[in-house]
Amino acid sequence: MGVGLSPLFRRFAPFRAADRTGHRALSWKRLFSSLADISGNLRSERDRWPLWLPVALGCGIGVYFALPFEPTDSTAIVVAAAGVAAIIAAPSTAMLRACLIFAAVAAIGFSAARLRTDIVAAPVIAHRMPPTGIDGRIEAVEMRGKGKRIMLRVARIDRLSAPPPKYARISVRSGTDILEPGRWVHLKAVLMPPPEPAAPGDFDFGRAAYFMRLGGVGYAYGKPVPIAPLGRPDVFERIRFAVDGLRWRMTARIHAVLPGSTGSIAAALITGDRGGISDEDETALRDAGLAHVLAIAGLHMALVGLGIFWAVRAFLALFPTIALTQPIKKWAALAALASATFYLVISGAAVPTERAFVMLAMMLIAILVDRPALSMRSVAMAASLILLARPESLIEPGFQMSFAAVVALIAVVEWEQARPRGTIEAAPLWWRKLRHYFGGIAMTSFVGSLATLPFAVFHFDRATHYAVLGNLLAMPVMGLLVMPAAAVSVLLMPFGLDSAPLHVMGYGIEAMLAVGRWVSHLPGSVSVVAAWPVHALVMISLGGLWIALWRRRWRWLGLLPLAAGVVAAFAPRPPDLLVARDGATVALRGSDGVLHLMGAPKDRYSASEWLKRTGDARQIAEAVATPAAGVRCDEFGCIGQAGGMLVAAVRREDALAEDCARASIVVSAIPVRRRCNGTRLAIDRFDVARNGAYAVWFSPFRIATAQGARGDRPWSERPRRHERRFQ
Q: Are strands 681-683 and 665-668 parallel, antiparallel or unpaired?
A: parallel
At the second CATH level, the architecture of 129-232 is Beta Barrel (2.40)
Which residues are CB-neighbours of 638 under 8 A, at least 6 positions away? Answer: 586, 598, 599, 625, 631, 632, 648, 649
Which residues are CB-neighbours of 13 under 8 A, at least 6 positions away? Answer: none
The amino acid occupying position 7 is: P
pLDDT value at residue 2:
38
SS (H, E, C) 294-328: HCCCHHHHHHHHHHHHHHHHHHHCCCHHHHHHCCH
Helix extents (H) in 572-616? 604-613
Spatial distance between the Cα atoms of 637 and 631, rounded to a whole number of angstroms = 10
pLDDT digits (tens, 9 = 90+) for 618-631: 899 999 988 888 88
The amino acid occupying position 260 is: G
Q: Are 640 and 664 in contact (CB under 8 A)?
A: no
Spatial distance between the Cα atoms of 162 and 150, rounded to a whole number of angstroms = 23
The amino acid occupying position 476 is: P
Spatial distance between the Cα atoms of 444 and 405, rounded to a whole number of angstroms = 9
Spatial distance between the Cα atoms of 347 and 367, rounded to a whole number of angstroms = 25
The pLDDT of residue 462 is above 90: no
Q: Are 648 and 639 in contact (CB under 8 A)?
A: yes
Average pLDDT, the chain: 85
pLDDT value at residue 527:
87
pLDDT digits (tens, 9 = 90+) for 679-689: 889 998 889 98
Q: How confident is the model at residue 418 (pLDDT cuts 50, 70, 90)?
A: confident
| Highest mean pLDDT: which range of 176-180, 207-211, 300-304, 415-419 | 207-211
Q: How confident is the model at residue 365 (pLDDT cuts 50, 70, 90)?
A: confident
For range 379-396, the mean pLDDT = 91
pLDDT value at residue 10:
41
The torsion angle over the Cα atoms of residues 432, 437, 439 and 443, rounded to 10 degrees, is 150
pLDDT value at residue 6:
37
**Ranges 14-23, 27-36, 210-219, 392-401: which has the least confidence:** 14-23
Q: Are strands 577-579 and 462-464 parallel, antiparallel or unpaired?
A: unpaired
Provide the residue ranges of all domains of the chain, joining segments of one domain with +: 1-36, 41-119, 129-232, 256-528, 534-569, 577-691
The pLDDT of residue 5 is above 50: no
Of the candidates 372, 354, 371, 360, the residue with the CA atom closest to the CA atom of residue 335: 360
pLDDT digits (tens, 9 = 90+) for 559-606: 999 999 999 998 888 999 999 988 899 999 988 889 999 988 999 999
Please give the C-alpha separations between residue 97 and each of 41, 47, 49, 52, 357, in angstroms, as whole numbers.
Answer: 16, 15, 11, 14, 32
The pLDDT of residue 421 is above 80: no
Q: How confident is the model at residue 1 (pLDDT cuts 50, 70, 90)?
A: very low
pLDDT value at residue 34:
57
- Could you tell me what percent of the chain has a pLDDT over 70? 91
Predicted model pTM:
0.86
Higher confidence at residue 76 or residue 18? Answer: 76
Q: Are 102 and 127 in contact (CB under 8 A)?
A: no
The amino acid occupying position 137 is: R
Q: Are 483 and 304 in contact (CB under 8 A)?
A: yes
pLDDT digits (tens, 9 = 90+) for 422-444: 656 666 777 777 777 777 778 88
Spatial distance between the Cα atoms of 541 and 59, rounded to a whole number of angstroms = 11
Determine if the peptide bond prior to 714 is cis (ω within 30°): no
Q: Are 313 and 298 in contact (CB under 8 A)?
A: no
Q: Residue 554's beta-bridge partner residues?
A: none
Of the candidates 300, 310, 314, 351, the residue with the CA atom closest to the CA atom of residue 505: 300
pLDDT value at residue 13:
41
Of the candidates 275, 166, 181, 176, the residue with the CA atom closest to the CA atom of residue 220: 176
pLDDT value at residue 90:
65
The pLDDT of residue 11 is above 80: no
Spatial distance between the Cα atoms of 259 and 505, rounded to a whole number of angstroms = 13
Higher confidence at residue 8 or residue 125? Answer: 125
Q: How confident is the model at residue 4 (pLDDT cuts 50, 70, 90)?
A: very low
Spatial distance between the Cα atoms of 392 and 116, rounded to a whole number of angstroms = 8
pLDDT digits (tens, 9 = 90+) for 258-312: 988 899 999 999 998 887 788 899 889 989 988 888 887 777 888 888 888 888 9
Burial track 639-655 (b if 16+ CB lie within 10 A, e otherwise): bbbbbebbbbbbbeeeb
pLDDT value at residue 272:
86
pLDDT value at residue 424:
60
Q: Are 703 and 691 in contact (CB under 8 A)?
A: no
Helix (H/G/I), strand (E/B), else coil: 285:
helix
Q: How confident is the model at residue 722 (pLDDT cuts 50, 70, 90)?
A: very low
Q: Residue 577's beta-bridge partner residues?
A: 588, 696
Helix (H/G/I), strand (E/B), else coil: 333:
helix
For range 708-724, the mean pLDDT = 74
- CA-angle at 192, arms to 579 and 219, nearest 5°: 115
pLDDT value at residue 278:
86
Q: How confident is the model at residue 513 (pLDDT cuts 50, 70, 90)?
A: very high
**Ranges 225-229, 290-294, 463-467, 672-676: which has the least confidence:** 672-676
The torsion angle over the Cα atoms of residues 95, 98, 100 and 105, rounded to 10 degrees, is -170
Q: Are 505 and 266 in contact (CB under 8 A)?
A: yes
The pLDDT of residue 533 is above 50: yes
The amino acid occupying position 215 is: G
pLDDT value at residue 373:
61
pLDDT digits (tens, 9 = 90+) for 106-157: 999 999 999 999 999 999 998 889 999 999 999 888 887 778 899 999 999 9
The pLDDT of residue 549 is above 90: yes
Higher confidence at residue 85 or residue 313? Answer: 313
Spatial distance between the Cα atoms of 227 and 651, rounded to a whole number of angstroms = 46
